[in-house]
């Protein structure tokens, strides 16, 4: 999807977030709750646009890393950013043994790439180049903002559903005279988590295929990423990762694969299909 298309999808998601939050406010607190929810939605829209990268990095417990701490990581990234004609992103390490990575930020000039400790340990240089090139491809294709806003949105929806559940249990919901009721909140409680998942799945899987293709071009090698994806897929099913489910779709492979329930509604395209496409490119 081009940059303009992603801008339209960003506006749509932010508008949808506003509507859902206002409806939730009405269900929980009646007319007063609706007004408070409107203010909350405006704050969330502002925050998700300007601080989405910080929110995503916080969700994954990523910490910044310096060239002295990760010289190979910086060396490879400098080479790849030169190939991609992109500014150097900020680099982060996630303290997790599961090999994985993601990119975030609102544009190429305000971007960050985070990798796990496990990724640095399990991949050889060619494979690491493939993964980092894939993340740079997300930055180059300008789809990092839409994915990060979706993560924030999914988290907000899930939080609202939890609030409604607790409010219903303890009688904190608005009464019928105020425009809200316990029955009005039930759809939010039941459908909220499903809506959050649908938002994540609504981020087209084609963005991963496109990032694979663009990443192979940046690295000048499609086999490194293909081999890395196979390693990451196997490891993700055996090594659990503690990460907010709202941010799971940001990663190059689903970090929740070890929790089998995550496979029922996958936010990622099949790894084998991605690998097959990369091998067919035959770039070495």
135 among known catalytic residues: yes
Q: Which of 129, 135, 208, 233 is catalytic?
A: 135
Residue 277 is encoded by which pair of tokens?
A: 């496409």
- Kind and range of the H or E element at 113? strand 110-116
The whole-angstrom separation of Cα 155 and Cα 193 is 9
What's the Cα-to-Cα distance from 127 to each of 66, 133, 238, 248, rounded to whole Å?
Answer: 21, 10, 20, 22
**Residue bearing tokens 């993560």:** 151
CB 244, CB 183: distance < 8 Å: no
**Residue 47: other Cβ atoms inside 10 A:** 13
Cα separation, 218 vs 209, whole angstroms: 14
Compute the distance between CA of residue 216 and CA of residue 282 in angstroms, rounded to an integer.
10
- The CA distance from 241 to 254, in Å, is 10
Q: Are 41 and 18 in contact (CB under 8 A)?
A: yes
Picking from 112, 83, 238, the residue whose alpha carbon sits closest to that of residue 253 is 238
Backbone angles phi and psi of 70, in degrees to 5: -140, 70
Positions annotated as catalytic residues are 135
């Amino acid at each position: 999807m081009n940059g303009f298309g992603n801008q339209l999808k960003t506006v749509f998601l932010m508008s949808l977030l506003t509507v859902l939050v206002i409806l939730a406010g009405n269900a929980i607190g009646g007319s007063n709750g609706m007004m408070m929810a409107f203010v909350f939605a405006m704050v969330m829209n502002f925050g998700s646009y300007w601080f989405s990268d910080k929110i995503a990095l916080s969700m994954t417990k990523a910490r910044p890393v310096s060239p002295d701490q990760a010289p190979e990581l910086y060396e490879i990234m400098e080479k790849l950013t030169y190939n991609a004609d992109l500014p150097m992103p900020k680099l982060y390490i996630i303290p997790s043994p599961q090999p994985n990575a993601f990119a975030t930020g609102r544009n190429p000039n305000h971007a960050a790439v985070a990798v796990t400790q496990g990724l640095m340990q399990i991949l050889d240089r060619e494979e690491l180049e493939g993964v980092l090139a894939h993340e740079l491809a997300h930055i180059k294709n300008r789809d990092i903002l839409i994915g990060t806003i979706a993560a924030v949105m999914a988290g907000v929806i899930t939080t609202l559903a939890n609030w409604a559940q607790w409010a219903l249990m303890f009688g904190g919901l608005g009464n019928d005279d105020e425009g809200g009721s316990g029955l009005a909140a039930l759809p939010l409680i039941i459908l909220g988590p499903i809506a959050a998942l649908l938002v994540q799945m609504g981020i087209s899987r084609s963005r991963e295929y496109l990032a694979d293709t663009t990443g192979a071009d940046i690295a000048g090698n499609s086999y490194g990423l293909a081999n890395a994806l196979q390693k990451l897929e196997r490891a993700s099913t055996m090594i659990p990762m503690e990460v907010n489910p709202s941010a799971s779709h940001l990663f190059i492979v689903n970090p929740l694969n070890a929790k089998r329930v995550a496979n029922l509604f996958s936010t990622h395209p099949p790894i084998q299909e991605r690998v097959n496409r990369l091998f067919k490119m035959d770039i070495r």
